Amino acid sequence: MGQESPAGTVGPGGDFGVSSAGLRRESFFRRSMVPGGTLCQGPVGCHDPPVVATPSREELLALAGKYDTLLALRGAHDATGEVAPREVLRALAARFPGALRELDRLPLEVLSRRAGALREAAVTGDPAAWMRWLWAFHGALRGALAARRAAGRARGEVGPDALGRLATEASRAAGMALSEGFVRDVCALPGGRLTAVAWRWVEARYGLSAGEARRALLGDEGTRA
């Protein structure tokens, strides 16, 4: 077993690393929603962010519950080959947007370890950096989706007055403050991939290099959900 480093980080050789060979390549769950590098549980050698935004105990437990759900859905699929009903996946994606990629890709052992680690952090009150990044990513993506829905077809022509209103909508959905600049980035994507905006926001908020959070949490480099 590896030794955990101080301040909620995981040092080199820790027991959270998973070879990219263990990633699943199927997309059963995300496909069912459409009509008709190194993966880590916690980032290896990561540093505490300069601005530490931290999830509450309740939010950590909610993330742990998300992984319980992912484990149940994957276990059922692996046992029977059946994909969960669309309404179940839709509800999961609404609360934790981006979770279906985890459901498709992550090995069962990683899902299980993350659930356990999140529950432990809820007790100790000392979440690891990867937990903060994950919490912030889900929130930012919820906010981005809310802003895009609120902007509607006019998102390519959003003026200064509307930006404030959309930022309020986005922040409410995210459960954290999102700026007008964030909304401007969302509206600038012509029907685009909002995950890219969410990952960039997480990296900027926590002082990370480009792609660092995504590689640690999903083990890949892309920006497509």
Please give the Cα distance from 147 to 198 (Å, whole number): 12
Q: What DSSP letter does each residue of 40-74 carry, written as one string?
A: ESS-BT----SS-----HHHHHHHHHHHHHHHHHH
- Using the Cα atoms of residue 126, residue 128, residue 133 and residue 138 in order, give the sign of their dihedral: negative
* pLDDT attached to residue 47: 35
Tens digits of residue pLDDT in 151-190: 887 666 777 778 889 999 999 999 999 999 999 889 887 5
Query: Residue 225 above 90 pLDDT?
Result: no
Instruction: Express as a percent the part of the chain with pLDDT over 70.
Output: 71
148 half-sphere exposure, CB direction, 13 A CA radius:
19
Tens digits of residue pLDDT in 18-60: 444 455 545 555 544 443 333 334 333 333 334 558 999 999 9
pTM score of the predicted model: 0.77
**b/e map of 176-195 (b: 16 or more CB within 10 Å)?**
bebebebbbbbbeeeeeebb
